[in-house]
Structure 1
Amino acid sequence: MITKGKEIPTYEELEVQDVALSSPFLKAGALHMGKQCEAENNEFMLCRMEEKDPRKCINEGKVVTSCAMKFFQVVKRNCAQEFYNFAMCLDRGSQDMSYDFCRKTQTIFDDCMKEKAGIERPGYGYFCEPRIHETKRPQPMPEPPPVYPDALVEPPSDDIPRQPSKYQGRPIFF
């Protein structure tokens, strides 16, 4: 359900070529792609967090998708067979596509990417390290505090007469 004042982007604005790969292939290339497209992804996520409206970040999302497409084109050009073997090992090796059973094929794929494409797999914990992302987008204005027209201007004063307690207060424990 959409409220009357909201504008929806047109199909032309949303049109972008999708990355048509299944989960094992995306997981096989995730570490390398995460490092290659880190700046674009951080810009998109910063936009999403600051704007709090995904419609304002459509262009940043398109940049992330195009970076992923370029990355997988590089993989296909340079290390297609090694990538395929690694993805199939992830798919067939365990139910949750664990890397544990595919270390040999992962090493072969990593070496191929390093030699032929010049892309090195990031080290363990690379994505957990804190980094500062510089952006060219202006920071959005903060939202003004909500104004409630029916709120009390002043709290009630202490001179209001009150009835004394009927039972002179009750102890918590009997």
Structure 2
Amino acid sequence: MPLFAGHLPVQEKDFDDAPQIANQLDPETKETLQYLKRGDLGIPNHALRCAAYQYAGQCVDVNREYMLCKQEEGDPRKCLKYGDRVSECAANFFRNVSEACTDQFVKMAQCVEKTNSRKLIYCRAEQLALDTCMFEKLGYDKLPDAGVYSDIEVKTDRPKPKNPYNFRPIIDSRRLPAEDYFERPIGQTRDGDEKK
């Protein structure tokens, strides 16, 4: 007898492709599962850091839209579509870089990997070669200082949230607005009775 007898045996297909499950899923759940199946880029962290400044310049809009969604919605399921856009932008960016500047990208990644602290400061010669290649062949330049873009409004297709700062509603019904409290006569309580 198998240890997990209650699980569906899924060999080659995903569990949501099984007819028993696919018939029970609504379209929104199917779309969510498609976003989750995307997976990661398959690029190590030190290699991602090598081209991070140029990536920030190319994918700034989709990254900001995703971060705005996460901040305003508070529910990660509502932001899966925007996370998919970020993944698509990153995949296209690193695909272009790896095709156009393969040697420089690999040398820079190897240099960062070999340093003890994995900092870019020890690989300035390789970084110059990679930056030059990406600018000349792809037109990718580093993102300027982040403060330059701090006041830019993010363009989004989402409706404005009802409670973007997640304020708690006032539950105490005895509390009155300040203007009502200060407009009453001096010797009167909130209930309208005279003070004794």
TM-score (norm 1): 0.74
Q: Is the 8 A contact 1:94 1:101 kept in 2?
A: no
Residues 72 and 152 (structure 1 numbering): CA distance in 2 closer, same or farther, change over 3 Å? Answer: closer
Q: Is the 8 A contact 2:108 2:126 kept in 1?
A: yes
Q: 2:154 aligned with 1:131, yes or no?
A: no
Provide the residue aligned with 1:46 in structure 2.
68
Q: How does 1:151-170 map to 2 (within 5 A)?
A: 151=172, 153=174
Deviating beyond 4 angstroms after TM superposition, the runs of 4 or more aligned structure 1 residues are 154-157
Residues 140 and 77 (structure 1 numbering): CA distance in 2 closer, same or farther, change over 3 Å? Answer: same
Q: Cα distance, 1:145 vs. partner?
A: 4.7
Question: 1:138, 1:28 → 2: CA distance?
Answer: 36
Return the match for 1:24 from 43, 46, 61.
46
Question: 1:13, 1:119 → 2: CA distance?
Answer: 28
Return the match for 1:80 from 102, 119, 127.
102
Deviations 1:48-84 (A, max 9, x none): 1111111100000000000000001101110011001
Q: How does 1:50-65 map to 2 (within 5 A)?
A: 50-65=72-87
Q: Cα distance, 1:47 vs. partner?
A: 0.6
Q: Is the 8 A contact 2:108 2:123 kept in 1?
A: yes
Q: Is the 8 A contact 2:56 2:142 kept in 1?
A: no
Question: 1:152, 1:136 → 2: CA distance?
Answer: 37
Identical aligned residues as a percent? 31
Residues 11 and 134 (structure 1 numbering): CA distance in 2 closer, same or farther, change over 3 Å? Answer: closer
Question: 1:11, 1:136 → 2: CA distance?
Answer: 22
Provide the residue aligned with 2:137 in structure 1.
116
For structure 2, list consecutive stretches of 5 or more residues without a partner in the other structure.
Answer: 1-27, 176-189
SS in 2 for 1:33: helix
SS in 1 for 2:141: coil
Q: Is the 8 A contact 1:82 1:109 kept in 2?
A: yes
Q: Cα distance, 1:118 vs. partner?
A: 1.2
TM-score (norm 2): 0.66
Q: 2:55 aligned with 1:33, yes or no?
A: yes
Q: Cα distance, 1:141 vs. partner?
A: 1.3
Residues 22 and 144 (structure 1 numbering): CA distance in 2 closer, same or farther, change over 3 Å? Answer: closer
Provide the residue aligned with 1:91 in structure 2.
113
* Cα RMSD (Å): 2.7
Q: Cα distance, 1:19 vs. partner?
A: 0.7
Q: Cα distance, 1:17 vs. partner?
A: 4.1
Deviations 1:105-150 (A, max 9, x none): 0000000001111111234xx22332312323221112685354xx
Provide the residue aligned with 2:169 in structure 1.
146
What is the number of equivalent residue pairs in this alignment? Answer: 148
For structure 1, list consecutive stretches of 5 or more residues without a partner in the other structure.
Answer: 1-7, 161-174
